[in-house]
Amino acid sequence: MAIAKDPELASKIPAKFAQHFRSWTDGAIPLRQISRYLQKNLPAIAHGLYPYIESGAIEIFPAHESQGENGSAWETLTDHTIHKVVCLDDDYAIGKQIELFLTNQNPNCEVVVLQDPLQP
pLDDT digits (tens, 9 = 90+) for 51-76: 877 887 777 766 554 444 444 444 44
In sequence order, what are the residues at sequence separation of 6 or more whose Cβ sits closer than 8 angstroms to the Cβ of residue 6? 56
Q: Where are the domains of the chain?
A: 2-59, 76-114
Instruction: Considering only residues 25 and 42, tell me which one the structure prediction assigns the higher pLDDT.
Output: 42
pTM strictly above 0.75:
no
